[in-house]
Amino acid sequence: MRWGILATGQISTMLVDEIRLTPDCEVVAVGSRTEESARRFAEAHGIPRVHGSYAELIEDDGVDVVYVGASHNAHYPAVRHCLEVGRAVLCEKPLTVDASQTEELVRAARAADVFFMEAMWMRCRPGFAELVRVLSSGEIGEVRHLRAALGFAVTEEHSRRLVDPNQAGGALLDVGVYPITLAFATLGPPVEIRALARLEGGVDRSVVVAMSWPAGATAALAGSLESEIDTSAVFAGTEGRVEITAPFHEIGALNVVAPNRPPRRLTPPAEGLGYVHEIAEVVRCLRSGLGESPLVPLDDSIAIMRILDECRRQIGLTYPEAAYR
């Protein structure tokens, strides 16, 4: 499976290494906004073909699937172009800046019968499947509460993208999407959402989200770009709890704790940095003739994007027009 890498940031560097750890995969091309940037990346990672624009990479017929690792606001036009030329695409989370863009891309992918998947790698890791199995087994009873947070302290020098409103930066889309996805993927669509945030410089530096479900479960979720918060997660049930070790989105280990029973520690196997599993899922789907992954359904990506939109509405965060171009 021949991969093309769109954009040359840190996440793309990690994906190149993980693709090469995945059986029957190779990286054959890279594209950036400038040829100089693409050439530097290609030389550093031994990639044979260089493209000085995203469009050139997408239109390279020697590429089977494009990985979109660009900033949030660049996802929509890049994916749209991939779908127009029939190129399979794995796009970083979140898929777009808002739900309307995501809905449009999903409709286009399904109409063109082109594979399209959000790179929510957490859902492809063996640990996630094990988490779902434990929660579904009834071992901790009915889930009544979820606590999950992800964040770290950054400065503009660390990554300007994260705090740039023109690139749809901020805690919600960059790190808050993980606890929200964890909640949605395990508990289903919430019936109530409440969001608060600290805004500065046109982006949300920290955000907290409370949710509730019809069966009585609640969640306290958080994301931050300005504090080293506790990044573990806990599902508390009527008969015990499941603790996910930090950082929870890697789901490296699960501690199952219940009264009158010795605690159990589950350590599902993982390959590489963990991205191998989502790459292998793309390959599996393409070779099976699937248009989307059952592990990361496109309808879920739309639903989660709608939750993110509602959170932005409640915290009063509006992206500038430049973020939609």
For residue range 86-103, list pLDDT tens digits in order: 999 999 999 999 999 999
Report whether pLDDT(325) > 90. Answer: no
The answer to whether residues 134 and 265 belong to one domain is: yes
pLDDT digits (tens, 9 = 90+) for 100-131: 999 999 999 999 999 999 999 999 999 999 99
Residue 212: helix, strand or coil by DSSP?
A: strand
221, 252, 269 - which closes a domain = 269
Cα–Cα distance measured from residue 3 to residue 25, given in angstroms and rounded to the nearest whole number: 7
Q: What average pLDDT score do residues 175-198 get? A: 98
pLDDT digits (tens, 9 = 90+) for 210-261: 999 999 999 999 999 999 999 999 999 999 999 999 999 999 999 999 998 9
Round the average pLDDT of the chain to a whole number and report it. 96
Q: Is 170 a catalytic residue?
A: no
pLDDT digits (tens, 9 = 90+) for 280-289: 999 999 999 9
- How is residue 242 written in tokens? 């499941």
* pLDDT of 155: 73
The answer to whether residues 142 and 241 belong to one domain is: yes
Considering the candidates 51, 81, 87, 93, report the single residue annotated as catalytic. 93
Find the domain containing 231 and state its range.
126-269
Q: Is residue 314 part of a domain?
A: no
Q: What average pLDDT score do residues 54-76 get? A: 97
* pLDDT of 141: 97
* pLDDT of 156: 64
- The one-letter amino acid at 149: A
Name the E strands within 138-215: 143-151, 192-200, 203-212
* pLDDT of 159: 78
Report whether pLDDT(10) > 70. Answer: yes
What is the model's pTM? Answer: 0.97
The answer to whether residues 259 and 141 belong to one domain is: yes
Report how many domains make up the chain. 2
